[in-house]
Amino acid sequence: MHLAGQNLWGLDPLSLSRWQFGLTTVYHFLFVPLTIGMVLLVAIMQTAWVRTNDEKWLKLTKLFGKLFLINFAMGVVTGIVQEFQFGMNWSDYSRFVGDVFGAPLAMEGLLAFFFEATFIGVWIFGWGRLSKKVHLMTIWVTAFGVWMSAYFILAANAFMQHPVGFDINVAKNRAELTDIGAVLTNIVALNQFPHTITASIMFAGGVMIAVSAYHLKRKQYLDSMYTGLRFGLWSALLGGIGTVISGDGLGLAMVQTQPMKMAAAEALYRTSTGYNASFSLFSWGTPDGTSEIFSVRVPYLLSFLSTHTLNGTVEGLNDLQAQYVHLYGAGNYMPVIWLTYWSFRWMIGLGMLAMLVAVVGLILTRKGRVNLPTWTWNLSIWAAPLGLLAISIGWLFTEMGRQPWLVFSLMKTADGVSPGITALDVLISIVVFTVIYGVLAVVEFKILRAAIDAGPDVLVAEEHTDADQLTVAY
């Protein structure tokens, strides 16, 4: 009995695998940004403590270090699923690009991941067993590992957006690596990396703001939490500014490498220049998605975003479609326009809101002011997910905007799925992952909430009784 490739209740392995990859990736990346951003903030706070010997920095390091760790474990266990899925669900993709794509993944493992996993263990259990300076070093080494890890993964992803440094081996029907330097300095990776890092710092800042606000609202731990609040506000603002600047660079790289994605981001059907290359704040198209009915537009802005000149030319969807048919054969080369268009706007809008919270917060709480009305504290607590939402939606834009390609210009998504798996297999795995991930989300939230509730002082008190044990850190 062999069911490979067969459908089940109208579901096929391809669309199920796409859903599974989408769900598990979005879920995985709920944890990654906090890891990337918070590891830096914790390292800075611990440095401040070692430098000044001021206990409030120790309290902050411990509290946010704990949140960082709770979150880190989730990133690790959900990350294994990501690596396995390339082979499990996308084996034809793995066969086709493994020679190129596998290299940055293996480098990530050997160069970065071992690093972070090892040193984070030492950091967790090293309180009191290592000298202050050596212990401080371990968090910086962890941060270095986390960031390198992010770079290699983004380089692998960049190959899918803009393949470079390879040749096609026709006999073996696969892409083969010819220049590892080109893969690691892919223009998309070089721009995606600072964008990811800064957005993550912005979000980590948002979390610090929310946690500090939570305690300040209750008028407790005022000293350490006010410092935490200001530190979070500055991190969110600086991270946000960095996100805007790096996003601009990424946009230019995108126009250069994947013009169809930019055209879809703008729902720009006809190639436009200068005044006509306007940025629409709102747009409504015909149901078949080939033309526009109504929109609200800022003239010149799209031209400026895409080319950094006021009278640049931006290629439209219809022209690109015609070009691609000519280049790659008959087919629909447009991504889902409404999704790409709106995800691009929501990403920017939510990111801007997160920055606005930081700016307003910095003004309201300057010079030690913490006597604010409760609703302002509540607002800043509820604003915490803004940065994360912007990041998730930004990835949806990046990956959905790449469709119908799996690897731009080389392989379509439909051609990458594993030929041997059945719809039932994937349905089982989707259900298993959804149930496990769902339960974990609830437990995770509960534990984070409890750690936040407990406040910064408990952890520091534990420090003195526990120096010699391997107990409470987890």
Question: How far is the C-alpha of 2 from the C-alpha of 15, rounded, in Å?
Answer: 20
Instruction: Specify the DSSP class assigned to residue 221.
Output: S
Question: How far is the C-alpha of 463 from the C-alpha of 207, rounded, in Å?
Answer: 24
Closest CA to 260 of 305, 320, 306: 320
| φ, ψ of residue 314 in degrees (nearest 5) | -115, 125
Taking the complex as a whole, the smallest distance from the CB of residue 354 to another protein amounts, in Å, to 28
- Of residues 1 and 293, the one with the C-beta less far from another protein: 1
Contact characters 82-101, another protein, x per CB under 8 A: -xx-xxxx-xx-xx-xxxxx
* Of residues 110-129, those binding another protein (CB under 8 A): 110-111, 113-115, 117-122, 124-126, 129
Chosen residue from 168, 443, 461, 467 binding another protein by CB under 8 A: 443
Taking the complex as a whole, the smallest distance from the CB of residue 432 to another protein amounts, in Å, to 6
* CB neighbourhood size of 452 (10 A): 17
Burial class (CB within 10 angstroms; exposed 0-12, middle 13-18, buried 19+) of 139 = buried
* Per-position DSSP letters for 409-433, written without gaps between them: TTEEGGGTS-TT--HHHHHHHHHHH
Q: Where are the alpha helices (H) located in 365-422, listed in sequence order?
A: 374-382, 385-400
- Of residues 185 and 313, the one with the C-beta less far from another protein: 185
Chosen residue from 251, 350, 418, 459 binding another protein by CB under 8 A: 418
Closest CA to 85 of 425, 391, 397: 425
- Of residues 183 and 208, the one with the C-beta less far from another protein: 183
Beta partners for residue 284, in sequence order: 294
Contact characters 4-23, another protein, x per CB under 8 A: x-------------------
Is position 80 an interface residue for another protein (rule: CB under 8 A)?
yes
Taking the complex as a whole, the smallest distance from the CB of residue 217 to another protein amounts, in Å, to 24
- Of residues 129 and 366, the one with the C-beta less far from another protein: 129
Q: How many positions of this chain bind another protein (CB under 8 A)?
A: 79
Residue partners of 169: CB distance under 8 A and separation at least 6: 175, 176
Taking the complex as a whole, the smallest distance from the CB of residue 99 to another protein amounts, in Å, to 5
- Of residues 109 and 285, the one with the C-beta less far from another protein: 109
Q: Which two tokens stand for residue 425?
A: 């297999």
- Of residues 331 and 419, the one with the C-beta less far from another protein: 419
Q: Determine the interface stretch with another protein among 207-215, 317-325, 345-353, 466-474 (rule: CB under 8 A).
A: 466-474
Chosen residue from 6, 51, 52, 106 binding another protein by CB under 8 A: 106
* Of residues 163-222, those binding another protein (CB under 8 A): 169, 174, 176-178, 180
Q: Determine the interface stretch with another protein among 55-63, 71-79, 269-277, 323-331 (rule: CB under 8 A).
A: 71-79
* CB neighbourhood size of 343 (10 A): 23
- Of residues 120 and 225, the one with the C-beta less far from another protein: 120
Q: Determine the interface stretch with another protein among 105-113, 240-248, 317-325, 362-370 (rule: CB under 8 A).
A: 105-113
Q: Please, are residues 249 and 194 in contact by the beta-carbon 8 Å criterion?
A: yes
Taking the complex as a whole, the smallest distance from the CB of residue 244 to another protein amounts, in Å, to 34
- Of residues 111 and 238, the one with the C-beta less far from another protein: 111
- Of residues 88 and 400, the one with the C-beta less far from another protein: 88
Question: How far is the C-alpha of 409 from the C-alpha of 420, rounded, in Å?
Answer: 25
Burial class (CB within 10 angstroms; exposed 0-12, middle 13-18, buried 19+) of 292 = middle
Instruction: Specify the DSSP class assigned to residue 367.
Output: G
